[in-house]
Amino acid sequence: MSIDALRDQIPDYAKDIRLNLGTLASESTLSDQQKWGAFLASALAAGNATVIKAVLAEVEDKLSPEALTAAKAAAAIMGMNNVYYRATHLMSAKDYASMPAKLRMNVIGNPGVDKVDFELWSLAVSAINGCGMCLDAHEKVVRKGGLSTEQVHAALRIAASVHAAAAVLTAEAALNS
């Protein structure tokens, strides 16, 4: 399966999602590694098996083994960090936000790919997981690393569209079961 095959599974009522996936697969403001890593990290964060398999099939020959592993790692580490930091940010007792997390996050310091790419993928996952604190932190790093607002915007659009595809296919599976 590929992005095109995934698009074919999206019902007509979600045609906009289908069209957006096609447009984003041709996105040119990001490098191929940045784009396809964002697709994979977003698919993993969205958690729908059909979307994950389709995106993985699309990116396997577009990402190096190191980039493939790093995109998976971005989804994994942000799955933990987004919950923790979103909670400490949302809690009215602000003393939690000043406490050290005491959670291992070594992959962020040594992701195996360009740090900016990993941070961009972490930003995409943070958008899906709804952690404003992490979004701000990762956006600051990628902008300092030289990415433009248009490139950040592209990653956010990828995250939004992949997440929407996953939500639609999950809903369709429930409706048809």
The catalytic site residues sit at: 131, 134
Look-up of token digits 């939500």: 167
Q: Give start and end residues of each alpha helix (H) in the chain.
A: 3-9, 15-25, 32-46, 49-59, 65-90, 106-109, 115-129, 132-144, 149-175
What are the Cα distances from residue 108, in Å, to 50, 57, 105, 117, 173? 28, 25, 6, 11, 35
What angle separates helix 149-175 from helix 115-129, to the nearest 10 degrees? 40
